[in-house]
Structure formats: structure tokens, C-alpha cells
């Protein structure tokens, strides 16, 4: 699975101004609503419900909030580089500045897990994250995400 299957250039926010985890989830829900046609509130509720189970802040400044919505027809991704890192209750207690939202249909099963693994693999690569942190161009961020993902196929 390539990230270009999940992510469009319109799904990249190169410089998001937020002050809290809740605000991150609200802004990403708004963007995801535009892309999926699903209600912003429903997306936000799915994400906050998932966060109650345990943080999706995976460490090293990265969070991968995710959830499933019955009405989706395919997987969707939204990526944001935060202008200022925020507390995300991450497992390493470090603030987060790179966030990849993943939404899947309730029937996605293995595809959802494959997509999570793909995103996680890419964002574990320190060089890729340094490049993502070093640009504020949405087009450049999109290119980095989709090109890096192609070279990290495995």
C-alpha cells in the first residue's frame, strides 16, 4: 500500500497553528470532513474515543490518530506539521509536531492495520521526519510523504 493511495495533496497541512491535542484533533477532523464528506463531529468523536483507549502519540514527536467510520468507502489520510509542538500524552512524554490521521471504513480490517504499519514505518525514519520538519510547503511535504513511502516499501 502506497501513501499516495491514502493521501492527496489537499490532505496535507504544512503549518498548522494549534495549542492542544484537542485542537489538533478538531482541525484534522475538519480537514477530514472536507475530504470524506463525513460529518466533522462524527470524525472528532471517533478520534477522541480512540484516544481514551490509549494515546496515539507514538514518540519522537509523532502521533498517528486513527479510527473507523461505517460510512467511508475507502481509507483516508490527513497529514499535519504543527507550527509549535503540543502535548499529546505521547508514550515518551515528548510534545508532538508531526501528525498523520488515518480513517478507515469499519470493514477495512487488515487494510487498516497495513496502512497503520506503513505510516508508522515511514515516520520511524528519522531522516524522513527531519525533512518533513524542515519544510513549510504543502507540496514538498506531500512529495516527501509519497516518495519516502515508495522507497520504504516492504
Grid-cell match 493511495, residue found? 5
Q: What pairs with residue 98 in β-bridges? A: 62, 81
> CA–CA separation, 79 vs 28, rounded Å?
8
- Annotated catalytic sites, by residue? 66
Say if residues 121 and 152 touch (Cβ distance below 8 Å): yes
Grid-cell match 485542537, residue found? 23
Burial of 42 (0-12, 13-18, 19+ CB in 10 A): middle
- Strand 96-105 to 62-63 pairing: parallel
Amino acid at each position: 500500500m502506497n501513501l499516495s493511495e491514502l493521501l492527496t495533496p489537499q490532505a496535507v497541512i504544512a503549518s498548522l497553528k494549534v495549542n492542544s491535542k484537542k485542537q489538533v484533533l478538531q482541525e484534522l477532523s475538519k480537514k477530514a470532513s472536507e475530504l470524506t464528506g463525513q460529518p466533522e463531529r462524527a470524525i472528532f468523536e471517533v478520534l477522541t474515543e480512540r484516544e481514551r483507549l490509549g494515546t496515539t502519540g507514538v514518540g519522537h514527536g509523532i502521533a498517528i490518530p486513527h479510527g473507523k467510520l461505517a460510512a467511508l468507502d475507502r481509507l483516508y489520510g490527513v497529514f499535519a506539521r504543527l507550527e509549535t509542538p503540543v502535548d499529546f500524552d505521547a508514550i515518551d512524554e515528548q510534545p508532538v509536531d508531526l501528525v498523520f490521521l488515518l480513517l478507515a471504513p469499519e470493514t477495512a480490517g487488515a487494510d487498516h492495520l497495513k496502512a497503520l504499519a506503513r505510516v508508522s514505518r515511514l515516520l520511524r525514519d528519522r531522516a524522513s521526519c527531519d525533512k518533513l520538519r524542515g519544510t513549510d510547503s504543502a507540496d514538498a511535504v506531500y512529495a516527501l510523504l509519497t516518495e519516502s513511502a515508495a522507497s520504504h516499501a516492504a
